[in-house]
A and B are shown apart, each in its own frame.
Chain A
Amino acid sequence: MAEEVKKAEEVKKPRKPLDPNSAKYKLGKIASDAFANTIEAKKQGKPVAWVSSNFPVEIPETLGIWTAYPENQAAGIAARGAGERMCNVAEADGYSNDICAYARISLAYAKLKECPEQDVAMPDVLLCCNNICNCMIKWYENLSQELNIPMIMLDIPFNPDYEVSDAQVAYVTGQFWDAVHQLEDLFGLKWDDKKFEEVTGFSCRASRAWLEATAQAKYTPSPFNGFDLLNHMAVMVTARGKEEAGEAMETLLKEYKENHEKGESTFRAEEKYRVMFEGIACWPYLRATSRGLKDRGINMVTTIYADAFGFDYNSFDEMIRAYCSVPNAINLEKSRDKRVKLCKDNNVEGLLVHTNRSCKLWSGFMAEMSRQIGEECGIPVTSFDGDQADPRNFSEAQYDTRVQGLMEIMEGNKADRAGKEA
Chain B
Amino acid sequence: MVKDILAKFHEVAASPRAQMDKYMAEGKKVVLTAPVYTPEELIHSMGFVPMGAWGADMELNRAKEYCPAFLCSIVQSILELGIKGAYKGASAIVIPSLCDTLKTLGENWKYAVDDIKFIPMTYPQNRKPDYGIAFTKAGYERVIRDLEELGGKYDAAALVESNSIYNKHNASMRKLDEVLAAHAEITASQRSDIFKSAFFMTKEEHTELVDQLIEELEKTEGTAAKLPVVVSGILTDAPQLNAVFEEFGMHIVADDVAAQSRQYRTDVPECDDPLDALAVKFANMDNCSVLYNVKKPRVQWIVDTAKARGAKGVVVVMTKFCDPEEFDYVMIKKACEAADLPLALVEVDRQMVQFEQIRTNLETFRDMLMM
- A: which residues have CB within 8 A of B? 93-96, 98-100, 103, 130, 133-135, 137-139, 141-142, 144-145, 150-151, 153, 155, 157-161, 165, 167-168, 170-171, 173-175, 178, 331-332, 355, 357, 360-361, 363-368
Contacts and interface: CB of A to CB of B under 8 A. Distances in A.
A174 B110 CA distance: 32
A360 B122 contact: no
B125 A137 contact: yes
Contacts of A144: 294
Given A134-B99, A157-B125, A355-B68, A368 B108 contact: yes
A138 B289 contact: yes
Given A153-B126, A367-B67, A360 B104 contact: yes
Given A134-B98, A167-B134, A171-B131, A160 B125 contact: no
B328 A170 contact: no
A179 B65 CA distance: 41
Given A137-B292, A364-B67, A364-B108, 14 more contacts: A94-B329, A95-B330, A98-B321, A142-B330, A153-B292, A155-B126, A158-B122, A160-B106, A171-B138, A360-B323, A361-B103, A364-B71, A364-B103, A368-B108
B330 A130 contact: no
Contact of B138 (A151, A159, A165): A165
Contact of A99 (B98, B111, B293, B327): B327
Contacts of B132: 171, 174
22 contacts: A93-B330, A94-B329, A94-B333, A95-B326, A95-B330, A99-B323, A99-B326, A103-B327, A137-B292, A141-B294, A142-B330, A144-B294, A157-B122, A158-B97, A171-B135, A175-B126, A178-B129, A357-B70, A360-B68, A360-B104, A361-B100, A364-B105
A367 B329 contact: no
Nearest to A133: B100
A381 to B, nearest CB: 14
Closest 6 CB pairs of A and B: A364-B104, A174-B131, A167-B138, A160-B120, A138-B327, A171-B135
B66 interface: yes
B124 interface: yes
Given A160-B97, A368-B107, A94 B330 contact: yes
B38 to A, nearest CB: 14
A145 B97 CA distance: 25
Nearest to B123: A157
B324 interface: yes
Nearest to B322: A98
A178 B327 CA distance: 26
Given A141-B292, A145-B331, A360-B104, A98 B326 contact: yes
Nearest to A151: B294
B129 A174 contact: yes
Contacts of A100: 323
B292 A155 contact: yes
Nearest to A96: B326
Given A155-B126, A170-B134, A365-B66, A98 B107 contact: no
Given A141-B292, A170-B131, A360-B70, A365 B124 contact: no
Interface in B206-248: none
Nearest to B299: A145
Contacts of B105: 364
B124 A98 contact: no
A158 B124 CA distance: 10
A52 B237 CA distance: 37
Contacts of B99: 134
A135 B331 CA distance: 16
Contacts of A137: 125, 292
B104 to A, nearest CB: 3
A138 B99 CA distance: 10
Contact of A138 (B71, B110, B328, B333): B328
B101 A360 contact: yes
- Which of A135, A161, A178, A360 is the most central at the interface, judged by chain B CB atoms within 10 Å of its CB? A360
Contacts of B331: 142, 145
B21 to A, nearest CB: 30
Contacts of A141: 292-294, 296, 327
A343 B198 CA distance: 49
Interface in B86-110: 97-101, 103-108, 110
Nearest to A98: B321
A360 B328 CA distance: 18
A355 B64 CA distance: 13
B10 interface: no
B239 to A, nearest CB: 25
B309 interface: no
- Which of B104, B110, B296 is the most central at the interface, judged by chain A CB atoms within 10 Å of its CB? B104
B107 A331 contact: yes
B132 to A, nearest CB: 7
B292 A139 contact: no
A64 B108 CA distance: 42
Nearest to B136: A171
A172 B293 CA distance: 18
Contacts of A99: 323, 326-327
Given A158-B103, A365-B108, A135 B67 contact: no
Interface in B265-298: 289-290, 292-294, 296
Nearest to B137: A167
Contacts of A96: 318, 326, 329
A364 B122 CA distance: 18
Contacts of B134: 167, 170-171
B107 A332 contact: yes
A355 B69 CA distance: 10
